[in-house]
Structures are given as C-alpha cells and as structure tokens.
C-alpha cells in the first residue's frame, strides 16, 4: 500500500500531509474521524509492504510503545494493518525534532540544552523501567513541543528484555553517529547504551558537532570503539563536561548508573546555571552595593523619597522603584561639591548611631522651599528664642531709663523669625522612630536644627 493524502486507514484515520520519512516508515498528520482529533500516523514505507520482517518490527514497536506511559514519551493510540502494510497511530506533538533546532543553532545555550537532556533522560528511565531499551536515541527522535515539553519517539528498533532477538548474530542496529561501542561490536544493547547515545546528543549540543565522524558508517562505528572522545572546550563548565565524558565512557559500567540518576544530576546543574550563562559553583546570593554611600541594599527596601515629593509614613508603593538618591550636602556649602556625578564623599558624615546600614541618611532640599511635612522650622524650635527676644527687649526698655549706652550701635537687633530658612528632607522607615535625620547648622547661621521626633509633631 502506498500512503497518499486522503486515504483512510482502519476506516477512521485519514491521512492529510506527510511530515517525515524514516528508515522504515513515513510519518503523516492524520485525522481521527471517530474522535475528531488530529493524530500522527506512522505508515510502513511502500517498498517494505508485504515484507514479513519489517511488518514484525512494526508490531514490535507497537507492543513496546503500548506498555509505556510517561509525559516525555509520545503516546501510542492504536495499531493496525491494511493491504499488507502496518500503521501506528500516535500522539501528534506540535513542535519540531531537536535535529531541526540544531540545524538552526548548532551550539545551544546551556539553559536551553540541559532541560532537553534531563527530560529525555527521564523518558529513557521510564522505558528502561518498563523493560524497553530504545537503541536509537538521536536528535531526530527527540521531539520538542511548543510548550517546552520533550517527547521521545520512534521505538521502531527498540528491544524488550523478554523479546525474541530479531537480528542475526553480529548485526548492528542503530544510527552510526550515536551508536554505543558495545552495539558497534554486535553486543546486546542495554540501558547504558541509551545513556551513551544521549551523551553524543549532549556533546553535539555543546560543541556544534558530533565527536566521531568518518566517510562511512563502519568508520564511525569503529571510532566509537577505538578513538578517545575529543575533549570539550575549556569554556564548558567542568562539572557538566565531566558528566558528558562519563556518559561517553567506552565501558558501560563507567557511565551514570541509571537514566534516573543522570536526570537528577542534569537538574542540579540547571539549578546552578544563570540565565544565558554556564553552571556556576559560587553562591547565588549576591548583594547590591549602593555606589553613593556604600550601603548594602536589598530588593525589599523602599526607595528614598526625593525632596519635593510627598512621603506618607507607613505607605509603600506596590512595586518598589529603583532607589533615587538626593544630594547629601546643604546648598551653598563651598566645601562640598553638588551637582556632580554620584560618588563617595570624603566629608560625608557617618550614619547616626543605631541606624542600620540599609537605610538612607537624611538629605537636604536644594532650596529654601518647604517640600514635605517634615521640612522647615517648627514652633517647638523657635518658641524659646522668641521668648528670649521678648525678655531682652523688655530688659532693654527698662535699662534705657538708666543708661542710654545700652542702645548704642554696638548691638544689632536679633534676626526676625524665619530670616534664614532651612529646608530639611527627613528619611524615615515605617514603624521606626523619626530621630535619625539631624542636619548640622548652615555655615554662618546662628540657628541650631534639632532632631525631629514624634513629640515635635
């Protein structure tokens, strides 16, 4: 039977379009007319129709696949035979084979490659636990779904532990480029053979080419047996490189003991890999250093309010914006540079005692305008000087009756209230006592600014 579009297999699976051609069969997109869903249909190639050996391999693939159920294995729905040919009905995976990805990107980023390898290893473990060895692990049989899930497929040459051998003694089954050394010399494939083949896939994804090449399949198979694996580039993480080299050990017992343990190791390497980078062994907990004050800040700290904005104690934005640093020097002080690029100030005063390094220092506004509820002079700061002024005036009036000299030019009248206004921007944290924002007096001013506390409100 020749597979063509429009033909219905088994009376319900209508072929729509061919998507791939393999060694034994063709893969088509089909439609299950009974369940109204799209499926993948693998049909024995026309030249093999009627061949009892190939038909039996199709039946074997169906039996081996039917006994496996795992999220990373393409599910088998049905098997049938028609006009001397066999067909498999499987889950249709929307995506592409890994081989297509490698054609576009010969070298994959570590964070892209490791999940593919780990999921494939888990699928192989499920197959091995079910007594099935895949025997043909390669990028073309690793499907990458659009969801990010990996599915292995094509158990066409797989073998089960209780399966009667279907190959003559010494006959090699598999793809030469991904063939394990023991398979190359005609020995039976084992779970360790699948791990070796996955190691070739890993090497190819890291380097951009396979470790062994040659003019013929025989030359490549011999290289798997006799030639040492070329070392991986130095930029590959040593732990990952060592793992891949273990997977490619010539002796099966020197490889990872199971696909399950391999998957766990790959997951651990993925956890230590930053986005866009290679696995790291250093601690992943880093701290951000404020370049202006060398204070240690974390993402949980709130932004410093800038003079001119309203800051309500206890209120925090839904998403903390990046910290904004206001000038730390009073305007008009020639000894300190303002308006320059941020940098450590040698004359900056240290934080007040008791303050944590994560909080900001009090800052001053660039002008005398009041900018928030914590700026400007308060009545508690000017009531005593005013009282002293009144008393001085009274004493002066009384003393005028006794000595006119007290009103000479040597005495100047005290400055009026608010003659030299100073704007202060306090930095407070919700729940903290507002006592940590003291600013020194302005040069040339006789006013002393005191710490603003809750009692002054």
pLDDT tens digits, 178-219? 999 999 999 989 999 999 999 999 999 999 999 999 999 999
Is the pLDDT at 275 greater than 80, yes or no? no
pLDDT tier at 152, thresholds 50, 70, 90: very high
Is residue 136 part of the annotated active site? The answer reads yes
Q: Which CATH number fits domain 1-92: 3.30.200.20, 3.40.1360.10, 3.40.640.10, 2.60.40.10?
A: 3.30.200.20
What global pTM score does this model have?
Answer: 0.58
Distance of CA 249 to the CA centre of its chain: 31
Q: Which of 32, 136, 194, 295 is catalytic?
A: 136
Is the pLDDT at 377 greater than 90, yes or no? no
- Record the tokens describing residue 50, joined without a space: 């009627």
pLDDT tier at 158, thresholds 50, 70, 90: low
Higher pLDDT, 19 or 394: 19
Q: What is the mean pLDDT of residues 268-296?
A: 47
Per the CATH hierarchy, to which homologous superfamily does domain 95-286 belong? Transferase(Phosphotransferase) domain 1 (1.10.510.10)
Q: Looking at beta carbons, which pairs linking 284-293 to residues 24 or more positions away fall under 8 Å? A: 290/323, 290/325, 291/342, 291/343, 292/325, 292/328, 292/342, 292/343, 292/344, 293/325, 293/344, 293/348, 293/360, 293/361
Is the pLDDT at 267 greater than 80, yes or no? yes
Question: Is 94 within 8 Å of 50 (Cβ atoms)?
Answer: no
Higher pLDDT, 339 or 120: 120
- C-alpha closest to that of 360 among 307, 278, 427, 267: 427
Most confident of 63-67, 336-340, 356-360, 419-423: 63-67
Per-domain boundaries in the chain:
1-92, 95-286
Higher pLDDT, 277 or 365: 277
**pLDDT value of residue 383:** 59
Is the pLDDT at 338 greater than 90, yes or no? no
pLDDT tier at 400, thresholds 50, 70, 90: low
> What is the average pLDDT score of the chain?
71
The two beta strands, 142-145 and 95-97, are: antiparallel
Q: What is the mean pLDDT of residues 380-397?
A: 68
**pLDDT value of residue 25:** 86
């Amino acid at each position: 039977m020749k597979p063509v579009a429009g033909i219905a297999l088994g009376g319900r699976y209508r072929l729509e379009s061919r998507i791939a051609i393999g060694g034994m069969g063709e893969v088509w997109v089909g439609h299950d007319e009974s369940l109204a869903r799209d499926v993948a249909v693998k049909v024995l190639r026309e030249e093999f129709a009627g061949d009892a050996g190939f038909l039996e391999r199709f039946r074997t693939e169906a039996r081996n696949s039917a006994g496996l159920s795992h999220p990373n294995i393409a599910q088998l729905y049905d098997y049938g035979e028609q006009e001397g040919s066999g067909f498999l009905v499987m889950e249709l995976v929307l995506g592409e084979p890994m081989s297509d990805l490698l054609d576009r990107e010969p070298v994959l980023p570590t964070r892209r490659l490791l999940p593919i390898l780990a999921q494939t290893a888990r699928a192989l473990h499920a197959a091995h636990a079910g007594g099935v060895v895949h025997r043909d692990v390669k990028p073309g049989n690793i499907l990458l779904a659009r969801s990010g899930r990996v599915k292995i497929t094509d158990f066409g040459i797989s073998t089960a532990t209780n399966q009667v051998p279907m190959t003559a003694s010494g006959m090699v089954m598999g793809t030469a480029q991904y063939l394990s050394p023991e398979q190359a010399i005609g020995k039976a494939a084992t779970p360790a053979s699948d791990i070796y083949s996955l190691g070739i896939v890993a090497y190819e994804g890291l380097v951009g080419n396979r470790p062994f090449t040659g003019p013929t399949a025989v030359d490549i198979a011999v290289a798997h047996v006799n030639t040492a694996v070329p070392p991986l580039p130095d930029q590959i993480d040593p732990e990952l490189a060592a793992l891949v080299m273990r997977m490619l050990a010539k002796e099966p017992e020197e490889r990872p003991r199971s696909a399950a343990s391999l998957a766990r190791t790959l997951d651990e390497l993925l956890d230590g890999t930053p986005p866009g980078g290679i696995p790291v062994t250093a601690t992943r907990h880093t701290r951000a250093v404020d370049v202006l004050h060398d204070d240690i800040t974390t993402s949980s700290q709130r932004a410093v309010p800038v003079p001119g904005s309203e800051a309500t104690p206890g209120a925090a934005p839904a998403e903390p914006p990046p910290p904004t640093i206001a000038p730390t020097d009073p305007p008009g002080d020639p000894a300190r540079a303002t308006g320059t690029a941020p940098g450590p100030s040698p004359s900056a005063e240290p934080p007040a005692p008791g303050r944590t390094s994560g909080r900001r220092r009090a800052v001053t506004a660039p002008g005398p305008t009041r900018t928030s509820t914590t700026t400007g002079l308060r009545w508690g700061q000017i009531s005593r000087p005013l009282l002293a002024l009144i008393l001085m005036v009274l004493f002066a009036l009384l003393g005028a009756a006794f000595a006119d000299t007290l009103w000479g030019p040597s005495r100047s009248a005290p400055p009026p209230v608010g003659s030299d206004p100073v704007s202060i921007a306090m930095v407070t944290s919700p729940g903290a006592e507002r006592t940590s924002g003291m600013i020194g007096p302005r040069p040339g001013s006789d006013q002393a600014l005191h710490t603003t506390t809750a009692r002054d409100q």
